[in-house]
Amino acid sequence: MSYFEMNKPNAAIEKKISGWFSRTVLLSFVFFFTGCAVSLAPKYEQKIVDDLSASATDVYQLLSAASAGTSKSDFDKRQENYDKVIGKLEALQLQINARPIPKNKTVDKIIDKVNGSLQKKGTTLISVKDTAPSAIAVKNIIANLTKMKEVDKAQGVTQGEVKAFKGFIDIFFDQALTYERYLNS
């Protein structure tokens, strides 16, 4: 028997090695691609929805207290409530903005669903750039409350002014909550 005949690989052993190698390569690809998950939408966070709901309650209590109109002379009684509510909303906006927003078709589909729901309600639609739509809505709530606070401090607010502020705030809370809840679907 020659050297080559003695060292010639056995066909059965060759088949086992080939099968083992194929499975190893396949498993390597599976582990690699599952380890590199792509984020299709911002991560849903129940805490953000809970904080939005709690903030809405605080804001609507403030609006309710002012619904009959206010006087410049007793603004000091309301200033702490304004500051508390605006501060909570600013912290919430920071929390929402800290979440990365991927750019892809899934986010666009979520925005389309949210806008479809908002359109049925007859409210303003949202768009996404580099900021979550809920963060933009919260920013608009803060801007309305800040303006209402300034007017209240300078001259007091009338019933009509409170209704107008409330109307805009309703739209923005609806946008924020609708978007955040769609992230969970």
Give residue-wise pLDDT tens across range 146-184: 999 999 999 999 999 999 999 999 999 999 999 899 888
* pLDDT range class, residue 2, cuts 50, 70, 90: low
Query: What are the tens digits of pLDDT across the range 29-72?
Result: 444 554 444 455 678 899 999 999 999 999 999 999 999 999 99
CA distance 101 to 79: 35
**Residues 118 and 125: beta-carbon distance below 8 Å:** yes
CA distance 154 to 159: 16
Report the distance separating Cα 51 and Cα 34, nearest Å.
Answer: 33
Scanning the structure block, which residue is given the tokens 């903030």?
A: 55
The amino acid at 100: P
DSSP string, 130-175: SS-HHHHHHHHHHHHHHHHHHHHHHH---HHHHHHHHHHHHHHHHH
* pLDDT value for 116: 82
Place of tokens 């409330």: 166
Q: What is the pLDDT of residue 104?
A: 66
How many Cα atoms within 13 Å fall on the side-chain side of residue 44?
11
Model confidence band, residue 16 (pLDDT cutoffs 50, 70, 90): low
- By the 8 A CB rule, do 162 and 170 touch? no
Q: What is the pLDDT of residue 10?
A: 56
| Selection from 60, 45, 59 nearest residue 88 by Cα | 59
Which of the residue ranges 15-19, 140-144, 167-171 would you say has the lowest mean pLDDT? 15-19
The position carrying tokens 């403030």 is 62
CB-CB contact of 169 with 141 (8 Å): yes
Contact 59, 121 (CB under 8 A): no
- Mind listing the pLDDT tens digit for each residue in 97-115? 888 776 667 667 777 777 7
pLDDT at 38: 47
Tell me the C-alpha distance between 87 and 76, whole Å. 17
Task: Examine the pLDDT at 28 and tell me if it is beyond 60.
Answer: no
